[in-house]
């Protein structure tokens, strides 16, 4: 359930010819592939562990490496598309995504897979920002509204497809390849979409923003120096390099703040503009987004591991158990716009409360029925978690960005999505590591219960803090 940043509304006049129905299908397929990949990977983690003998810390990196690379390069990808052509960057991003999917599928070791996943995240950062930019630049009026609605539906539908496809492919063990088809399936689909992409209309921004190279480097340094030691340090006995990296992270973050402020004073457009971060709507939105996405990232990782290693569901069973969540998310996300129009920012608060209720229900269900938990036992809590996430996740971006000036819409959404991906990775690094540390000492059942309890607390914090979000209705 990832969100792609909105393209700036002023990002260029509609191209001639406009976006055809076939062109819209093309860009939506391009958007669906990385989202599907997110859910497929979670379902396949235990199988990857068994095949490549990866530690839990390395499995965390398999998930987080994608998100870190995507978070760092997301804004860069959008700006490169504005400068050099959105169709061109869509094409090259999709090429790279297809090639890196192949690299993931044939990875001989866990380390190689982590590197390939990081490259796949970088490819997604080139590909995904172009989708909404192409829609914005080549459509208008009712045609644009329909295209954006279909884009939202694509995100929700991709979550459903990811669960079912991931579980089915791993369980099928095609030709004895185990987990590898979850990545290799992207190759033929990617090649077909590449052929279709040749007929997309080209567009560029009239006044493209430059790339903040130093800011991008410092953001990457900050995230890597913080997240990699958190994931790997405990498993390796906290070697010297992990302590050094952790000590470096606050200095790197301080340097990033200094560089971004200086660039903005000089009239440039930083990667993370301080003026945008100071907007009350964005500042409050980030306070809600950090615990929300951190909780969701850790939940998806820990739940997938527990289903298969603790409850022995198998990949197909795990996919089936998560499907009610995905279906509920897809269904409610289609209604969220009307709910926001009527109830404003209260939708996010209610979504956080329902998510917390779903987590508590999940906790009680698993503790009571362990180890004989069934998919039907889990279904009520999965539906509640899906509904809560749909209400909160799909409206948080809209509420925050509704108070960002139009000419900064693309920059603001880039800030929010960078925060989203960073928080997802941080959730996996912290609560995923906590789960790994505790499962060996107090058992999988109790470790899972503790982490889900923390996630429920974070969802409650979201419900409380979301009440201070601005009202998008004015």
pLDDT higher than threshold 80 for residue 327:
yes
Rounded average pLDDT over 76-102:
91
pLDDT higher than threshold 90 for residue 190:
yes
List the structure tokens of 414: 């880039």
Convert the pLDDT of each residue in 43-72 to its tens digit.
Answer: 888 889 889 988 888 888 898 899 889 888
d(CA 365, CA 94): 42
Range with the lowest mean pLDDT among 145-154, 338-347, 412-421?
145-154
CB 295 within 8 A of CB 430: no
Give the best-scoring range by mean pLDDT among 66-80, 374-388, 416-430, 459-473. Answer: 374-388
Q: Which residue has the higher pLDDT, 151 or 246?
A: 246
pLDDT higher than threshold 70 for residue 441:
yes
Range with the lowest mean pLDDT among 135-139, 176-180, 252-256?
135-139
DSSP-derived secondary structure letter, 272: S
pLDDT higher than threshold 70 for residue 468:
yes
pLDDT higher than threshold 70 for residue 409:
no
d(CA 427, CA 429): 5
Rounded average pLDDT over 447-467:
94
Q: What is the pLDDT of residue 9?
A: 43
Q: What is the pLDDT of residue 351?
A: 94
Tell me how long the chain is: 474
d(CA 458, CA 293): 10
Q: Which residue has the higher pLDDT, 255 or 49?
A: 255
The fraction of the chain above a pLDDT of 70, given in percent, is 94
Range with the lowest mean pLDDT among 135-139, 357-361, 434-438, 458-462?
135-139
**CA angle at 220 for the pair 290 and 348, rounded to the nearest 5°:** 15
CA dist 167 → 46, 132, 141, 317, 384 (Å): 12, 30, 40, 7, 22
- CB-CB neighbours of 331 under 10 Å: 15
DSSP-derived secondary structure letter, 178: T
Rounded average pLDDT over 241-263:
94
List the structure tokens of 316: 């197909």
Give 15's pLDDT tier (boundaries 50, 70, 90): very low
pLDDT higher than threshold 60 for residue 20:
yes
Can you tell me which residue has the tokens 């540390």? 437
d(CA 388, CA 357): 9
- CB-CB neighbours of 118 under 10 Å: 22
Range with the lowest mean pLDDT among 191-200, 268-277, 286-295, 441-450?
268-277
DSSP-derived secondary structure letter, 472: T
CB 73 within 8 A of CB 216: yes
Give 3's pLDDT tier (boundaries 50, 70, 90): low
Rounded average pLDDT over 80-100:
92
């Amino acid at each position: 359930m990832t969100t792609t940043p909105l393209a700036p509304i002023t990002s260029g006049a509609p191209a001639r010819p406009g976006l055809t129905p076939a062109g819209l299908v093309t860009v939506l397929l391009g958007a669906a592939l990385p989202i599907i990949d997110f859910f497929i990977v979670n379902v396949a983690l235990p199988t990857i562990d068994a095949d490549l003998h990866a530690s839990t810390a390395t499995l965390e990196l398999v998930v987080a490496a994608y998100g870190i690379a995507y978070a760092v390069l997301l804004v860069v990808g959008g700006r490169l598309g504005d400068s050099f052509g959105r169709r061109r960057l869509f094409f090259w991003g999709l090429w790279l995504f297809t090639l890196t999917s192949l690299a993931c599928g044939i990875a001989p070791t866990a380390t190689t897979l982590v590197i390939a996943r990081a490259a796949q995240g970088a490819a997604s950062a080139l590909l995904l920002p172009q989708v909404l930019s192409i829609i914005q630049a080549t459509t208008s009026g009712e045609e644009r509204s329909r295209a954006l609605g279909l884009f939202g539906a694509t995100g929700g539908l991709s979550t459903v497809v990811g669960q079912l496809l991931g579980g089915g492919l791993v369980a099928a063990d095609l030709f004895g390849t185990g987990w590898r088809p979850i990545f290799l399936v992207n190759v033929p689909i990617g090649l077909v979409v590449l052929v279709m992409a040749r007929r997309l209309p080209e567009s560029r921004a009239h006044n493209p923003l430059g790339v903040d190279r130093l800011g991008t480097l410092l953001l990457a340094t900050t995230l890597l120096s913080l997240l990699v030691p958190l994931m790997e340090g405990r498993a390796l006995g906290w070697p010297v390099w992990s302590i050094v990296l952790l000590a470096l992270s606050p200095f790197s973050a301080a340097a990033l703040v200094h560089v971004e402020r200086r660039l903005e004073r000089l009239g440039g457009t930083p990667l993370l503009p301080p003026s945008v971060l100071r907007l009350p709507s964005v500042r409050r939105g980030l306070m809600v987004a950090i615990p929300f996405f951190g909780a969701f990232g850790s939940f998806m990782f820990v739940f997938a591991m527990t289903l298969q290693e603790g409850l022995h569901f198998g990949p197909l069973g795990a996919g089936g158990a998560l499907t009610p969540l995905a279906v509920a998310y897809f269904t409610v996300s289609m209604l969220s716009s009307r709910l926001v129009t009527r109830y404003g920012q209260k939708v996010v608060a209610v979504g956080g409360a329902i998510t917390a209720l779903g987590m508590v229900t999940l906790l009680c269900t698993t503790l009571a029925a362990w180890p004989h938990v069934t998919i039907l036992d889990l279904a009520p809590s999965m539906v509640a978690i899906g509904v809560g996430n749909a209400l909160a996740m799909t409206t948080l971006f809209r509420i925050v960005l509704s108070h960002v000036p139009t000419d900064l819409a693309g920059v603001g959404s880039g800030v929010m999505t960078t925060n989203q991906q960073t928080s997802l990775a941080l959730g996996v690094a912290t609560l995923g590591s906590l789960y790994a540390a505790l499962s060996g000492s107090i058992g999988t059942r109790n470790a899972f219960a503790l982490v889900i309890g923390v996630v429920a607390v974070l969802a409650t914090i979201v419900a409380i803090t979301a009440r201070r979000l601005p009202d998008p209705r004015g």
